[in-house]
Amino acid sequence: MVDATGPYELIALSAAAAARAIAAGEIDPTELIGAYRARAMADELNCFTWVAPERGPGSGGDIAAGSSPAPGESPLPGTPLGGVPLAVKDLFCTAGVPSQSGSRILEGYEPPYTATAVARLQGAGATLLGKTNQDEFAMGSSNENSAFGPVLNPWDRARVPGGSSGGSAAAVAAGLAPWAVGTDTGGSIRQPAAMCGIVGLKPTYGAVSRYGMIAFASSLDQAGPLTRNVTDAALMLRHMIGRDERDATSLRFPEQIELPRADRLDGVRLGVPAELSSEGIETGVLERFHSALALAQELGATINTDVMLPHAPHGLAAYYVIAPAEASSNLARFDGVRYGLRAGDGQDLVGMYTRTRHDGFGPEVKRRIMLGTYALSAGYYDAYYGRAQRVRTKIVEDFRAAFEEVDFIVSPTTPGVAFELGEKTTDPWSMYLNDALTVPMSLAGIPAISIPCGLSGSSEGKGPVGRGLPVGLQIAGPAFSENRLLDAAYALEQAIGFDSTAAHV
């Protein structure tokens, strides 16, 4: 029997544990939802851009068969996620709820439909708790590019939570939500997960429908879970995957996602490429990474340091051509004509376009639109975009060759721990380097997970009162290897024993 005498006992439950307790009748889902709503409403980290309003008693009683509950309503009876609250990144369309992608150009926009990934979770019984803050149109590594202000890291409020899914990551780390949906284009799930001390999973490209996700870079964007532990990540992913006729890039997943059970890594071959585990990485991060490798060996894994990803160092440059090029095309739809902000009333059409985009887009979005437009322009396409795509192909081939020698590639998730607010905002390239270890997996379309592997003990990795800051361990596998990946991550997670509730506020 769960002791649910107060809100703190309720929020101490993992999402999977809460779902089991609800199914067993041990806790009331409305109490769980109420406890999290109260915490979300008192959010001091700027994690949320919208929180579901409180509903009256019995508000879920009129839900039609086969439909999803409205935000904040009681769940459908008998559903597998039976009322566990869900935080959702602001770039997912949610019917009748602000879906602004962190941008003034979409401020207050309420779409008439819900993204497939969110709708599937709601259909499984998850209750929409709120929409989370993010870098504008998912363009950023620190959540400082949001039009609605930066999110603060719960481990140290003077530092960033990572980006672009920083609001989702910080909300889970701070105990404001049991789990959250994020998106990963070049590392936007894994990087904030690492900086906030939680689990973040980028699935195989195409495993989760992109329908209803406000697009950044369509050949890279992928939705995935941000959770307290690996089991919760597996449970959420189970209810997100699958073919969707409304997304031509979505694929039928070859097997059901199982909850991980492995406690050993016997026979598992881990590859540690020098290209992703040496140059430019903080001392404290490397210390925790090597400690995790030692634990993996104790669990029976073999470590191969000879595996190579020779084109991975070129991934960042290729990514920052391909992603802005796709963004320049995707963001052309925001022109003040159909939805969102319209500025410059009384001007001619071109003047209205210009004024709307000037007022609506932030500086980082404008920078990437200009970079992408230039890369696609006549005379430069082959020199930039075409060459970047060839590098991408080489990276895909590198991973394919590596997975003939090893089962998984492991590396630190980020080169450093969470950095101070404002530290890198005037130096875009320094900011972009935070994605150096996550971008190659995105370009290859393969799954990768970040799990916390301890706290940095070096001077650059200390938070308030000398407390260390979280370090992430990244594990990547071949396409559609999510079950094996989750098993390996689970075994390591149990051995590491990181306290995922340490930053609860």
Does 199 reside within a domain?
A: yes
Share in percent of the chain as helix, strand, coil (round to 5): 35, 15, 50
Question: 3-state DSSP call for residue 116?
Answer: helix
Does 467 reside within a domain?
A: no
Respond yes or no: is residue 131 known to be catalytic: no
- The residue from 89, 131, 202, 424 that is catalytic is 89
- The residue from 14, 68, 188, 458 that is catalytic is 188
Q: Using a cut of 0.85, tell me whether the model's pTM lies above it.
A: yes
| Cα–Cα distances in angstroms (integers) from residue 245 to residues 195, 398, 468, in the given order | 35, 32, 46
Does 127 reside within a domain?
A: yes
| Spatial separation of the C-alpha atoms in residues 409 and 309, rounded to whole Å | 10
- The residue from 164, 277, 458, 500 that is catalytic is 164
Does 305 reside within a domain?
A: no
Instruction: Print the domain residue range for 37.
Output: 7-55+68-238
Q: Along the chain (505 residues), what's the average pLDDT of each consecutive run of 10 residues?
A: 56 95 93 95 97 61 39 67 96 97 95 97 97 97 96 97 97 98 98 98 98 97 98 98 97 96 96 93 96 98 97 97 96 90 82 92 96 91 94 98 98 97 93 96 98 83 70 98 98 96 82
Q: Strand order of the sheet with strand 199-202?
A: 48-51, 127-132, 85-89, 179-184, 222-227, 199-202, 448-455, 470-476, 408-412, 269-271, 302-304
DSSP-assigned beta bridge partners for residue 130: 51, 87
Respond yes or no: is residue 366 known to be catalytic: no
Cβ(412)–Cβ(282) below 8 Å: no
Angle at 230 between CA 476 and CA 197, to 5 degrees: 85
Does 248 reside within a domain?
A: no
| Cα–Cα distances in angstroms (integers) from residue 171 to residues 198, 251, 380, in the given order | 10, 30, 42
Beta-sheet pairing, 408-412 with 199-202: unpaired
| Cα–Cα distances in angstroms (integers) from residue 173 to residues 52, 123, 216, 229, 234, in the given order | 20, 25, 25, 11, 18
Does 246 reside within a domain?
A: no
Q: What is the pLDDT of residue 56?
A: 41
Interhelix angle for 315-330 vs 363-376, to 10°?
100
Residue 235: φ, ψ to 5°: -65, -45
DSSP string spanning 202-261? EPPTTSB--TTB--S-TTT-EEEEEESSHHHHHHHHHTTBS--TT-TT----SSPPPPP-
Sign of CA dihedral 205, 441, 192, 435: negative
Respond yes or no: is residue 209 known to be catalytic: no
Does 137 reside within a domain?
A: yes
CATH of the domain at 108: 3.90.1300.10
| Spatial separation of the C-alpha atoms in residues 412 and 406, rounded to whole Å | 17
Look-up of token digits 């073999």: 302
Does 252 reside within a domain?
A: no
| Spatial separation of the C-alpha atoms in residues 372 and 244, rounded to whole Å | 29
| Cα–Cα distances in angstroms (integers) from residue 343 to residues 222, 332, 334, 337, 368, in the given order | 32, 16, 12, 10, 21
How far out from the chain centre does Cα 190 lie? 6
Q: Is the peptide bond before 164 cis (omega within 30 degrees of 0)?
A: yes
Q: What is the pLDDT of residue 463?
A: 62
| Spatial separation of the C-alpha atoms in residues 434 and 446, rounded to whole Å | 19
Q: How many domains does the chain have?
A: 1
Cβ(454)–Cβ(288) below 8 Å: yes
Cβ(228)–Cβ(172) below 8 Å: yes
